[in-house]
Structure 1
């Protein structure tokens, strides 16, 4: 059932991580700028932006992902089950990424139709690429310790993409378009599409699949779905993933509004003074402040990622994930209570939030791989991709709900992209979007983890028994 050593080389870990870096150039752009692109660059009304984001996103989550998961699990080729998907979708995904953030000069109705079509294509290709990529982590190695290490490499790639998008992208959009955000977005997305495609091809050529299902293993899609519904850890992880990405999309998509409309510009300029001599020149203080704010959280998040494997190995993934998620939520809530002049507190709180959330970041996906092992251990059948596809339902559903909430809440609080100074109601809505509202899903997720049964002892039991089965077969 296995082939070759389950120990992974640094080359393979780096090659695999580049795939997540590539995917997150797309995903982090969606999390951070989708609502802003639709309302402030493309020119959609907040309610229409929310409708497009939610309707297309939920269709993609509940239709595309299960279908691709079921088909990927039944893919058989000399290249493996999941690697061919990465190869054949790399170029189309790059093209779709560019198209979805282009701004053709249609009338308003045509703009809405174009947004629906291009966003649908992008989410379909993202699912066809990223779902098999995620499932690949479950068959690269059967060692949970190696998976923890692989996940740490992988999420350094994630944080690299996040760092670029959240620190530099807003400024690059302004510079590339000479102040024209539409032209700037198209230029930046052209380069990101090319770079992402190359990275995905490197992932394909540097990885291999080691866990091979037994030849006699056969199951219908119905059987796989029944197994999922009976798999309590899977149900919890589906709900948890959805909640996590609702929060990430909600707060991540709101920071640009927060800096443009709430943070005091004079205090921001004074605070940023010492950084200007050591960092590249930004277009203005708003883009500089947003970049330093996001960058501080990401850099300290990397420190959290570096601690993640050691903590997870010692205390178990569930306990470490829940603790770090709860502490990071406390710092999210704190944003609501800061006046616009408290720039130092705003930046310091983001750093602390980033550090504690960073600890949880790699653990989510290794927990999902553990759920695939739990399913094999319990049912004596392995259905890796369909388990990961369910998690992608949570990811896409969470992204769609969170992004739609940003646009919808802004609209309900009277946000108007054409106003130089927003109304007080809109300012309060922006504050809530970076604090109280995104804290709620995180706190619910912490509660769900008390029901998750794969603790440290269960991890060891599952890994030991599956190793024995694979050797005997």
Structure 2
């Protein structure tokens, strides 16, 4: 077995996985709590907050591919991608703390502060996260090892998510001692320190092995290759549909438990149970892929999510046990999604190298990250706009229309996106036999 196709030690697998645990101290807060923080703590109108989430993604349309392009051309004694875990950790930590800080300003000043700090945090996140994600394509070319690596990565990610979803409300209450604004700021300080330590563990534990052929800098050619990469195009739209499914459920859950179930104290427990189910689903992925190929497995999982999410619409507000049961089943079905899709992105990087004799791992993974952030922002925008249209008023008794909108945001709308994702996945063309042939030919070129 060549170094390119190396089997990895558990030290390296767990070290790489630790990084995504760190990222989820930021990302899971953004996905689950940031919109709620802006509307019910920071004091922004729901529509303004939703618009801000979407507007900031325009910047990501430029920064994400630019970061991927830059990382692909970085040369250092630590490799192309690993150094960014050191260079970007502290700026990301600082920007995150400022994002969750509420200044003593009027409404216009607060909105400007929110835009400036959130944009800065997402740029800093891009600077670290895109190189980290691209590392998956260069640590090993072994397809099964990549699936195992991504499974462990997302077990760590969901474990970080468990801490965030369960611990954040409790830490905010404890550290703030009645001052929610202070509680959010101090909570993010703790999360930022832990994330920096996990990034350092990833840096010292991993090695880049897949280098690809030497190539001249040519952004236009890289972009042309990317747009001609059919499997990548399918994955981009698939990732967008799946993250809309997940983000709508997660971000709307705070409103669902506060205003529909009228048991806000259960929100953390519900999201924690879902995160544990996500982790179990992710951990099962290497076993599942021994029986079904990635494409087939993903199609049936998303169909299951669509059916279960639609059925959840009919649950009564006092059916707590059923609400938890459906949430856990949906999360179990969604758990393998992340390991499957991200390992498939690594496969499309190999496909691009095989087809074009050029490797642009960073650019390919930057587009994956952009789809993730775009989907999350679009979900937040949909929530903010729909709530505003239905007459949502923060910390007040909701109208029947706004309550119904909240239920739709957790059930029927995610169901539609899940079924759309299943259809998109059916268009993916790289099966196991084709990937084996590509890997063999790439080895012969090396």
TM-score band by shorter chain is over 0.9
Matched pairs, number: 445
Alignment partner, residue 279 of structure 2: 302
CA deviation profile, 1:277-329 (whole Å, cap 9, x unmatched): xxxxxxxxx33x22221222222222222221122233211111111122122
Q: In the alignment, does 2:400 pair up with 1:424?
A: yes
Name 2:423's counterpart in structure 1: 447
State the TM-score, normalizing by the size of structure 2.
0.97
Q: Equivalent residues in 2 for 1:130-145 (5 A)? A: 130-145=129-144
How far is the alpha carbon of 1:5 from its aligned partner? Answer: 6.8
Write out per-residue CA displacement over residues 13-55 of structure 1, whole angstroms, 9 at most, x where no aligned residue. Answer: 1111111001111000000011101100100011111121110
Q: Retained in 2: the 8 A contact 1:49–1:407? A: yes
Listed as ranges, the matches of 1:232-381 within 5 Å are 232-265=230-263, 286-287=264-265, 289-381=266-358
**Aligned pair 1:7/2:22, yes or no?**
no
Separation in 1, partners of 2:428, 2:125? 29
**Separation (CA, whole Å) in 2 of partners of 1:264 and 1:104:** 30
Structure 1 vs Structure 2 CA RMSD: 1.5
Match of 2:19 in 1: 19
Q: Could you tell me whether the CA contact under 8 Å between 2:4 and 2:141 is conserved in 1?
A: no
Distance (whole Å) between structure 1 residues aligned to residue 375 and residue 39 of structure 2: 20
Distance 2:178 2:327 in 1: 28
CA distance in 1, matches of 2:300, 2:439: 24
Question: Please, which runs of 5 or more residues in structure 1 have no aligned partner?
Answer: 266-285
Instruction: Kindly indicate whether residue 178 of structure 2 is the aligned counterpart of residue 202 of structure 1.
Output: no
Corresponding residue SS for 1:414:
coil
Q: Is the 8 A contact 1:320 1:360 kept in 2?
A: no
Residue 434 (structure 1) aligned to one of 394, 410, 418: 410
- Which residue matches 1:161? 160
The counterpart of 2:380, out of the listed 382, 391, 403, is 403
Distance 1:345 1:11, change over 3 A: same
CA contact (8 A) 2:250 2:271 kept: no
1:277 alignment partner in structure 2: none
Alpha-carbon separation, structure 1, partners of 2:251 and 2:5: 42
Structure 1 pair 40–220 and aligned structure 2 pair: CA distance change class (3 A): same
Contact 1:97/1:122, CA 8 A, preserved across alignment? yes
SS of residue in 1 equivalent to 2:137: coil
Q: Report the Cα distance in structure 1 between the residues aligned to 2:254 and 2:426, rounded to whole angstroms.
A: 34
| Whole-angstrom distance in 2 between the partners of 1:410 and 1:247 | 18
Inter-partner Cα distance in structure 2 for 1:48 and 1:378: 45
Structure 2 CA distance for partners of 1:160 and 1:132, relative to 1, 3 Å = same
User: Structure 2 vs 1, CA of residues 5 and 431 (structure 1 numbering), >3 Å: closer, same or farther?
Assistant: closer
Question: CA 1:193–1:89 in structure 2 vs 1: closer, same or farther (change >3 Å)?
Answer: same
Q: CA deviation at 1:264?
A: 4.9
For the Cα contact (< 8 Å) 2:212–2:353, is it kept in 1?
Answer: no
Structure 1 residue 248: deviation in Å? 1.9
CA contact (8 A) 2:5 2:141 kept: no
Which one of 204, 225, 228 corresponds to residue 227 of structure 1? Answer: 225
Query: How many Å apart are 1:196 and its aligned residue?
Result: 0.5
User: How far did 1:426 drift?
Assistant: 1.1
Deviation (angstroms), 1:4: 7.3
